[in-house]
A and B are shown apart, each in its own frame.
Chain A
Amino acid sequence: MPSPPSVLILFAHPALEKSRVNAVLIEAVRGLPGVTFRDLYEEYPDFDIRVEQEQSLLLEHDIIVLQHPFYWYSSPAILKEYQDLVLQHGWAYGNGGEALTGKTVLQVITTGGRETAYQREGINRFTIRELLVPFEQTARLCGMDYLPPFVAHGSLAMTPEAALKHADDYRRVVEALRDDAVNRDPIREHDRINSEAAMAFVGVRVGG
Chain B
Amino acid sequence: MADDIFVQAFVYLMAAVVAVPIAKRFGLGSVLGYLIAGFIIGPFGLGFVGDEGEDVLHFAEFGVVIMLFVIGLELEAEKLWNLRRSILGLGGLQVLATTVIIGAATLALGYSWQIALAIGLILALSSTAIVLQTFNEKGLMRTEAGQNGFSVLLFQDIAVIPIIALLPLLAVAEATGGDDHADDTLISGLPGYAQALAIVGVVVGLIVVGRFLLRPVFRFIASAGIHEVFTAAALLIVVGIALLMGEVGLSPALGTFLAGVVLADSEYRHELEGDIEPFKGLLLGLFFISVGASIDLDVITGDWLNVTLIVVGLVIAKLAVLYALGVRFGMGFDQSTIFAFSLAQGGEFAFVLFSLAEEGGVLTASLTSPLIAAVAISMAITPLLFLLAEYVLLPKFGTKETENREADTVDEENPVIMAGFGRFGNYVGRLLRANGVGVTVLDNNANHIEVLRKLGIKSFYGDASRMDLLRSAGAADATLVILSMGDVEKQLELVHKIRHEFPGLTILARARDRRAATRLLNAGVEHVYRETLDSGVKMGTDALGMLGFRQHQAVRAGRNFRYHDEYHLREMAEEAGEDHMVPISVARERLELLERTLKSDIEDDGDEERDAGWDTDSLRRDVASRSGPGSEDG
Contact = CB atoms under 8 A, between A and B. Distances in A.
Interface string B550-572: 11111110000000000000000
B623 A156 contact: yes
A156 B619 contact: yes
Given A15-B611, A156-B616, A156-B623, A45 B551 contact: yes
Interface in A44-67: 45-46
A159 B632 contact: yes
A48 to B, nearest CB: 11
B634 interface: yes
A153 B633 contact: yes
Nearest to A114: B633
A16 B616 CA distance: 12
A197 interface: no
Contact of B633 (A15, A18, A43, A154): A154
Interface in B502-560: 545, 550-556
A143 interface: no
Contact of A18 (B552, B556, B615, B627): B615
A200 B73 CA distance: 87
Interface residues of A, number: 22
Contacts of B614: 14-15, 18
A162 B616 contact: no
A157 B550 contact: no
Contacts of A34: none
A135 interface: no
Interface in B21-49: none
Contacts of B550: 15-17, 41-42, 45
Contacts, number: 58
A157 B611 contact: no
A97 to B, nearest CB: 29
B624 interface: yes
Contact of A157 (B552, B556, B631): B631
Of B623, B624, B634, chain A has the most CB atoms within 10 Å of the CB of B634
B542 to A, nearest CB: 10
A112 interface: yes
A46 B558 CA distance: 11
A32 interface: no
A193 B622 CA distance: 29
B620 interface: yes
A18 B634 contact: no
Contact of B634 (A17, A112, A162): A162
Contact of A46 (B555, B620, B631, B632): B555
B552 A42 contact: yes
A15 B632 CA distance: 24
B552 A158 contact: no
A45 B552 contact: yes
Nearest to B555: A45
A150 to B, nearest CB: 14
A162 B552 CA distance: 28
A90 B623 CA distance: 46
B563 to A, nearest CB: 16
Contacts of B551: 41-43, 45
Nearest to A195: B634
A15 B620 contact: no
A198 B230 CA distance: 88
A112 B553 contact: no
B620 A157 contact: yes
B555 A158 contact: no
A155 B182 CA distance: 104
A133 to B, nearest CB: 24
A189 to B, nearest CB: 20
B126 to A, nearest CB: 62
Contacts of B619: 112, 156
A15 B611 CA distance: 8
Contacts of A41: 550-552
A156 B632 contact: no
A158 B611 CA distance: 22
B615 A158 contact: no
Contacts of A45: 545, 550-552, 554-556
B392 to A, nearest CB: 64
B254 to A, nearest CB: 59
Contacts of A20: 616
Contacts of B623: 112, 156-157
Contacts of A153: 633-634
A20 B614 CA distance: 12
Nearest to B548: A17
A81 to B, nearest CB: 12
A14 B552 contact: yes
Contacts of B631: 157
Nearest to B614: A15
A23 B234 CA distance: 74
Contacts of A42: 550-552
Contact of B616 (A14, A112, A115, A159): A112
Contacts of A155: 616
Contacts of B555: 45-46
Interface string A104-126: 00000000101100000000000
Nearest to B549: A17
Nearest to A40: B552
A18 B632 contact: no
Contacts of B627: 157
B624 A15 contact: no
19 contacts: A14-B552, A14-B614, A15-B553, A16-B550, A17-B553, A18-B611, A18-B615, A18-B616, A41-B550, A45-B545, A45-B555, A46-B555, A115-B634, A156-B616, A156-B620, A157-B620, A157-B627, A158-B632, A158-B633
Given A45-B555, A112-B619, A157-B620, 17 more contacts: A15-B550, A15-B553, A18-B611, A42-B550, A42-B551, A45-B550, A45-B551, A45-B552, A45-B554, A114-B633, A156-B616, A156-B623, A157-B623, A157-B627, A157-B631, A157-B632, A162-B634
